[in-house]
Amino acid sequence: MPGFRVVVSDAEARAVLRDAYTFSSSDNNTTGRSSAKTPALSQLDPPEHTRLRRLVAAQFTPRELARLEPALAAHARAHAETVGDLVRDFTEPLPALALAEFLELPSDLVLRWVTQFASLVGYETSPGWPEFCDTVDGLALSRFPGLATPERRMLVHFLVVAGVRNVTHLLGNLLHRLLVSDMWPIAPELVDGVVEESLRHEPPALWSMRTATRPCTVGGVSVAAGERILIVAAGANRDPDRWPAPGDFRPDRPSATGHLSFGTGPHACLGAAFARLQARIYLGVLAESAPDLRPAEGFTYQPAGDLMSRGPAALPIRRQPCP
């Protein structure tokens, strides 16, 4: 039976992620081929992955996404006014609302899908899948005119599952770190650096997987064809050969965007620019609207998520005037 190899260094992680021919994504951690007619985007290899990504990549550029900024800021301001728990009232609803704006769909529909679908595994056997298909098939979805019907369903489902909870965890990790480190409110000029350092320091997605297609070596270790490779972004992002004092949270860290929280190579996160845009807008709005936030008395961190992703389950806050 094929074994597993674990990669935690920055250099080795990059080498594996960039080589889609030696290290296949088709049997990775989201595998569900036995029960899904159309694999998720993260399960595809070239040339199919390349074809689909080219059809939709233009919709995820910073320039295209910039038109969403007013709506995202408005959502953030509305939620910042009544926040009592940052996860429940801020980091959970906002990414779903952002996806609804992106897809030009009713927010209640996307919020229902986020609650309904939690996994990429065997998604075509999920409860509610037939209703989801009927709804998606009846929508214009002008952003993705070049996709066949199964591909449209797959991509919308992929965005619902991977594009919402990971942003929720990103925001939760970021706000938790700032609050417990007594760094709140954050100055506007530090927002970009804080977002990137949080992604490096506490990535919302902890690892990914590939399968070796041929005998090879990784970090000088022999790997047999069929063996799985676990690429641990949470480890590579704290590789001391790449990051001095990797355990420290430093918003002014040089070259902070070099982390692997969005991956690299052919499967680099399609929604990276969207996640960054949301984090910058939401953080800036919250700092301006609620500069007096502090952790609630007696707050104890409890994680939410699964084996692949992690963020705080709750962030109850209190109001305390800034000194």
- Cβ-proximal residues to 244 (8 Å cutoff; 6+ apart), any chain: none
Per residue in 101-114, pLDDT (tens digit) is 999 999 999 999 99
Per residue in 172-207, pLDDT (tens digit) is 999 999 999 999 999 999 999 999 999 999 999 999
Per residue in 153-174, pLDDT (tens digit) is 999 999 999 899 999 999 999 9
Q: Could you give the CA distance from residue 14 to residue 93 in angstroms, rounded to a whole number?
A: 33
Of the candidate ranges 124-128, 179-183, 219-223, the one whose mean pLDDT is the lowest:
124-128
- pTM score, two decimals? 0.93
Q: What is the domain partition of the chain in residue ranges?
A: 35-208+271-319
- Cβ-proximal residues to 91 (8 Å cutoff; 6+ apart), any chain: 167, 168, 171, 172, 175, 282, 311, 315
Instruction: Summarize the confidence of residues 228-251 as an average pLDDT.
Output: 95
Per residue in 16-66, pLDDT (tens digit) is 999 999 999 986 655 444 445 678 888 899 999 999 999 999 999 999 999
CATH architecture of 35-208+271-319: Orthogonal Bundle (1.10)
